[in-house]
Structure 1
């Protein structure tokens, strides 16, 4: 086996894949390295189901594939949020009603895609109950932030973000209905990519709000996000330029969003520093103020959550009401008193806003906006405020958390880049160059890992 300059577990997906394809590193050896890393960092508690014997058995089967038959994601270990069906591992949804260790004999569509590309399904990562609760309901592991055990990792894709940021796997799948990819990515200091709504099939993934639910990725580099996007055939109509994104000719918008008044000093400082850094690298910076039509977008997001949650959770409520978290019961019992007229107004209102924002966004290479209120709060029961992300989720636009900044307590703070719908690859292309600046000069380093 070759001797890479760093431990195997530190390598990104883009770095390890050539070694796996060529046979310089076996899938088994790489899997063992990650399992050792997870054992050494077990206090993070990112995993709810991690079967070493199954992992190593599947790794050996991948090792036996001839070199000329190895495909795009050959041997790449991927963490899977535990609301996504996997035929060989149980899916428990962090619910007391699904504590069986017997797998449901079905793979979600996204898992079929990963297996077809010869990825190694590594284990199931923690989530809040049905990926819908903000507080409490932890029947599985109570995951901590990888940089401070007293702080939340965010949610609901808690374990996926923590596992990637902590070098336990190179990439992982998550989902976002409010801020469940972007927020934990910011809190833990990694990249989190929510593609355009519908870009990845959600068949086989627990449903909360079909209007909002989106499958996406966590990684430590944009290159790895591009790799996964290739596997899922996320493509723009207009090809991305073959040359690197040039900040010297870039036009970048900055949008504080309607709930800027909630921003803490860490986020305020990150936005100011980002403006300064990008200007110094030659970018043209413009402030973007959303029209007054967008003033109700957060209210509409909350209405859609409540209205569709009432439908999505009805079956689980009727089957096992006593086992559900109070917030889930509240959706079914309509504690927010959402009427059909309210839901229609939200649907129609946001439908009008989506093309308006698209037209604004195409005037810029990307728009930078906050990912979170501030650095991860102390305490593990509350996964933090999603409101900085919700606008972009309900607008269905692609969004990526870019790490690089630090809060008052030295915890990571990221910023989000967004663009128009179905310009996902253009967003990633720009995020790569912006991320190099933010990570290199933003002031936060994961030095303790």
Structure 2
């Protein structure tokens, strides 16, 4: 049986470069997988197979992405597909141009397979996507469709975005790799931005090397080869973070297993807690997110309220009356923690911390708690989640590797080391 759709991006790219695989055959395999699985998983909100085939015929196999199929989260504009931002307000809307990230994907040889489901404006009401590992559970959000499509082998790579935990958490819930780069590494032009201070475009894949390949091609950066073995084991800070009380029993048990595995592999481990002042981010982050989002949705809130969900209006309308000084103070807190984070990493290469409180929750009405993500998003640092085990219901658990802002290549390399150490 042909299972070309199982190939990672790096493996497929190597096969295409060697002449063992045609771009059209790879794309057809992924199209067949989407046709077979998406009626149940519902990862895609827009998908036009004939256009995909035409793009595959045009793709340059010698380009950096060389014909690799890509899923695009539906908060990034596409000129050839509808862009709905997860809201009925934009049903059938077709932008004039691609978002910058999508344009550079195509320029690098990537084949856009379709638009993946997002929650409402990537901040509120979930869409119909289900976790492909257990359809009774959420895939997480807001990058729901991207996580599910990659986990279910519909595409090898996909875009996500993160304002709190919308890349790392769904990737962990679906048992794949998620990479939130340093803030601003991937250009946001053409994205429906909700929070100017927080929103970050990132990627999901089934290997760390695929994340480095995809994000590097889009951002025009060399993110190295995470498969290359480092010259020494890492110095790792084990950081439960101020969110540790949110950890469910499966994550508490995972924590001890992870520490033991890293020690056996030769890592130099130290317990590393953040300064007490970082606890203020528990209130500062939601203040920034809610107030900036409320103002970003100015047109929708003032002209299209009946088409907004009750949950979004209940969350964001009151924020319009909050004093501007409240946002200024929250941003000041965030900036102070950003400046203090470098010294907090002194003596270690990266921190290791949970990716999510536990397994993916049952049902699709809630995408899960971003307790272990919002801190790092606010700090604007690179984060990578890798699969790290299974919970009591047999669903995936992840562990997160966090490093210094701008040190993305090193964080990706150490994430691959951690993944290998965890087996």
- Sort the TM-score into its range (normalised by shorter chain): over 0.9
Listed as ranges, the matches of 1:1-40 within 5 Å are 7-40=3-36
Q: Which residue of 1 aligns with 2:152?
A: 166
1:148-200: CA deviation from partner (whole Å, max 9, x where unpaired):
11100000000001111111100000100000000000000000000001111
Q: CA deviation at 1:118?
A: 1.4
Listed as ranges, the matches of 1:314-393 within 5 Å are 314-335=298-319, 338-393=322-377
Asked if structure 1 preserves the Cα contact closer than 8 Å seen for 2:212 and 2:225, the reply is: no
Q: 2:109 aligns with which of 93, 118, 138?
A: 118
Distance 1:150 1:223, change over 3 A: same
1:89 maps to 2:86: no
Distance 1:405 1:87, change over 3 A: same
1:202 maps to 2:198: no
Q: CA deviation at 1:331?
A: 4.8
Distance 1:125 1:243, change over 3 A: closer
Looking at structure 2, the residues matched to 252 and 185 of structure 1 have their Cα atoms a distance apart, in angstroms, of 22
Q: CA deviation at 1:326?
A: 2.1
Distance 1:335 1:230, change over 3 A: closer
Q: CA deviation at 1:250?
A: 2.0
Q: CA deviation at 1:93?
A: 1.1
Gaps of 5+ in 1: 441-449
Looking at structure 2, the residues matched to 229 and 160 of structure 1 have their Cα atoms a distance apart, in angstroms, of 15
1:310-333: CA deviation from partner (whole Å, max 9, x where unpaired):
210111112211001123323542
Aligned residues: 421
Distance 1:242 1:187, change over 3 A: closer
Q: 2:96 aligns with which of 89, 96, 105?
A: 105
Distance 1:218 1:36, change over 3 A: same
Distance 1:242 1:193, change over 3 A: closer
Q: CA deviation at 1:266?
A: 1.2
Q: Which residue of 1 aligns with 2:46?
A: 49
1:245 maps to 2:230: yes
Looking at structure 1, the residues matched to 295 and 201 of structure 2 have their Cα atoms a distance apart, in angstroms, of 20
Q: Which residue of 1 aligns with 2:416?
A: 432
Q: Which residue of 2 aligns with 1:155?
A: 141
Q: 2:220 aligns with which of 224, 233, 239?
A: 233
Asked if structure 2 preserves the Cα contact closer than 8 Å seen for 1:313 and 1:328, the reply is: no
Q: 1:418 aligns with which of 392, 397, 402?
A: 402
Looking at structure 1, the residues matched to 385 and 226 of structure 2 have their Cα atoms a distance apart, in angstroms, of 22
Asked if structure 2 preserves the Cα contact closer than 8 Å seen for 1:309 and 1:331, the reply is: no
Q: Which residue of 2 aligns with 1:130?
A: 121
Q: Which residue of 1 aligns with 2:57?
A: 60
Q: CA deviation at 1:61?
A: 2.3
- RMSD across aligned positions (CA): 1.9
Looking at structure 1, the residues matched to 4 and 388 of structure 2 have their Cα atoms a distance apart, in angstroms, of 24
Looking at structure 2, the residues matched to 235 and 25 of structure 1 have their Cα atoms a distance apart, in angstroms, of 25
Q: CA deviation at 1:387?
A: 1.4
Q: CA deviation at 1:21?
A: 3.0
Moved >3 Å (runs of 4+) = 239-243, 335-338
Q: 1:310 aligns with which of 274, 280, 294?
A: 294
Q: CA deviation at 1:81?
A: 0.2
Looking at structure 1, the residues matched to 234 and 2 of structure 2 have their Cα atoms a distance apart, in angstroms, of 35
1:270 maps to 2:234: no
1:190-221: CA deviation from partner (whole Å, max 9, x where unpaired):
00000001111111011110100000000111
1:394 maps to 2:378: yes
1:234-283: CA deviation from partner (whole Å, max 9, x where unpaired):
458xx99996125x632111111112111101111111111000001111
Distance 1:195 1:89, change over 3 A: same
Asked if structure 1 preserves the Cα contact closer than 8 Å seen for 2:89 and 2:307, the reply is: yes
Asked if structure 1 preserves the Cα contact closer than 8 Å seen for 2:209 and 2:225, the reply is: no
Looking at structure 1, the residues matched to 398 and 320 of structure 2 have their Cα atoms a distance apart, in angstroms, of 32
State TM-score, norm by structure 1.
Answer: 0.90
Report the 3-state secondary structure (helix = DSSP H, G, I; strand = E; otherwise coil) of the residue aligned with 1:41: helix
Q: CA deviation at 1:41?
A: 1.6
Asked if structure 1 preserves the Cα contact closer than 8 Å seen for 2:294 and 2:320, the reply is: no
Asked if structure 2 preserves the Cα contact closer than 8 Å seen for 1:80 and 1:125, the reply is: yes
Q: CA deviation at 1:362?
A: 4.6
Which has the larger displacement, 354-363 or 168-177? 354-363
Looking at structure 1, the residues matched to 228 and 58 of structure 2 have their Cα atoms a distance apart, in angstroms, of 38
1:144 maps to 2:130: yes
